[in-house]
Each structure stands twice: as C-alpha cells, then as structure tokens.
Amino acid sequence: MSEAALAGKRVIKVADSIVNLAVLIAVILLIVIGSYALWDSRQVYQTADSTRYAVYKPTDENGGLSFAELQEINPDVCAWLEVYGTHIDYPVVQGKENMTYVNRNAEGKYSQSGAIFLDKYCSRDFSDFSSILYGHHMEKHAMFGEIGLFKNKDYFEARRYGMLYYGGQEHGLEFFAFLHADAYDTAVFKTHITERKQQQAYIDMIFDRARHTRDINITPDEKIVLLSTCSTDSTNGRDILVGRITDEVFANPFNTEDGSRNGELIVNCLDGLVGNPWCLGILGLLLICLIALILLATLKKRRYRNTQEETNNEGDMV
C-alpha cells in the first residue's frame, strides 16, 4: 500500500474518532439538559402541590391557629377551599389586582403555579350573591387541574361536596353545575349582582348553559361560588364548577380511616425519582457510562478491523 493511501487511512481514523467524541459529548449534554428540564418541571409542580400547605389548613384540632399563622405571613389570605374527591385543598387569597397571584403563591412568593385567588371585585367575606375563584389548570392534579375532569358526567356525579373556610368557621359546598364558557363572557364572569331579579336570571343562565347539573333548588337567597380555570377545549375557554355555600359542613366521603384519599397511591416511585436531583444525577451518570462503553466497544471493534485490513494489505504487498 502506498504512503498516500496509508496517510489517507490515518486521516479517516482521526476524523472518525473526532466524530465519535463529538457524538458522545452531544449525548452527555442532551442527558444533562433533559435531566435538568425534568427536575425543573418537577419543582414547579412540587410548589403547587396542595400537601405543602397542609400545615396551614384550619381544622377542629388546631382551632385555625395554623391558618392564622399563614395570614400573618400573607394578609391577603382570606379563605380555604377543598373539593372532596380531588387534590383541590388550598388557601385562598385576594389581591388588589387579579394578576397579582397569577405568578405568586399563597405565601406571597414568586411561583409559576400561582395561587387560588378570589376575584378582586368580590367581597372578601363571601357575602356577595356570587363569588369567583380562579386557579391555573395544571397537570399532576395541581391547583385547578382537576376542574376540567368534571366534564365527565360520572366524575361530576361522584363529587358533590366540598368545604370553604372563611370568617373563622367552616362552611359546606354543594356543587350543582359544570359549564364551559369563554374567558371574556361577561354574562358568566359577572360580580356584584345585587337585584333579586338579576340574581334569579343568573341562576337560570347557569342551568341553561351547563353541561351537567344537579336537580336541586337554588334561590337568590343563597350564596354561590364559581371555580374557574383554563380549558383545553378552546383557546380562551374556561371550565367552571359552580356550587352553593351552605351552613351544613359535609363529611368527606373520600377520606379513609387513616385520612388518606381513596384510590390515591401512597408512593409514586417514578415521581419520586423525577423529583430528586440526586437520583436524576445518578441515572444520568449511569446512562453516560453505558453510552461511553458502547462507543468504546464500537471504536475498539473498528480499530481491530482496520488493523486486520492493514495487515492483510501489507501481506498482499509482500
């Protein structure tokens, strides 16, 4: 084999090694970036998880002391909302503007998940005929992510009650309608309905436009609350669950004897791995080592093949 041919083969081998190294580096970068993205996404959902606020929840046992402590941290906290059979179990805030808590949590800190907040035009003590609560539509059962599930008739039928705490005591919630509306529909997103005739017309409008309803009598003498979140059905769509506030506090039929939710997994292994940066790092390193071993084995095989070819070529020249 000529010197030029041998030099060409060396150049090809060097170029091949460079390409393999570049591929390995690219794979490592992709793994690192992907792991960080998973971890960052998990952090967002962790901050939105209702369990992180459980210590502040007003109960008969603590007499609302923890809730009072949360109000000391953030005076905008005005209530607590729970929808039985879901993960909606959050403090409620009211800002001077409705955008205040779109990217701020109930403790007043910056958070992409925001908080459940009361419309700025509604009375803080829920004394209005109608009150509107807003929350982000999020996956993994966070914030108002489960409101859209009420479009399913069976889901709606199975989840009738909830709890709303304000004014130092618990109140019952009885959900009677689910509807879909446009975000700019002023007929639905209407506050300060003071005249009895208008209040009855508003109730009739909800029943007329609702996808699902319960056959219960709602009168202007009662207080109603709307839980609104973004919908996946349309660009500006909103899914809205409507309930009435009652003096009777309903028992939560989804609680088991140990206080956990029926049908909820105690441990989610995959979720735990994604939420732990150390686990992600270890998995990333294992993947990198595996890919490196595969590439090294490939390089070794190629080098052996090239050596064999060179030996054969030299033998032919002799």
Choose among 224, 226, 254: nearest CA to 238.
226
Q: What is the pLDDT of residues 98-139, one digit of tens each?
A: 999 999 999 999 998 999 999 999 999 999 999 999 999 998
Query: Residue 58 — very low, low, confident or very high, per pLDDT cuts 50/70/90?
Result: confident
Q: What is the pLDDT of residues 204-251, one digit of tens each?
A: 999 999 999 999 999 999 999 999 999 988 889 999 999 999 999 999
Please give the biggest Cα pair distance in the chain.
109
Average confidence score pLDDT of the chain = 82
For residue 267, the model assigns a pLDDT of 36
Q: What is the pLDDT of residues 133-181, one digit of tens each?
A: 999 999 878 899 999 999 999 999 999 999 999 999 999 999 999 999 9
Distance between CA atoms of 20 and 2, rounded to whole angstroms? 27
Under a CB-based contact definition with an 8 Å cutoff, are residues 165 and 246 in contact? no
pLDDT beyond 60 at 48: no
As a whole number, mean pLDDT of residues 42-59 equals 70
pLDDT beyond 70 at 91: yes
Length of the chain: 318
Distance between CA atoms of 17 and 299, rounded to whole angstroms? 8
Query: Residue 268 — very low, low, confident or very high, per pLDDT cuts 50/70/90?
Result: very low
As a whole number, mean pLDDT of residues 197-201 equals 97
Q: What is the DSSP letter of 80?
A: E
Distance between CA atoms of 158 and 63, rounded to whole angstroms? 30
Which residues 6+ apart lie within 8 Å of 310 measured at CB? 1, 6, 9
Distance between CA atoms of 102 and 116, rounded to whole angstroms? 9
Which residues 6+ apart lie within 8 Å of 35 measured at CB? 280, 281, 283, 284
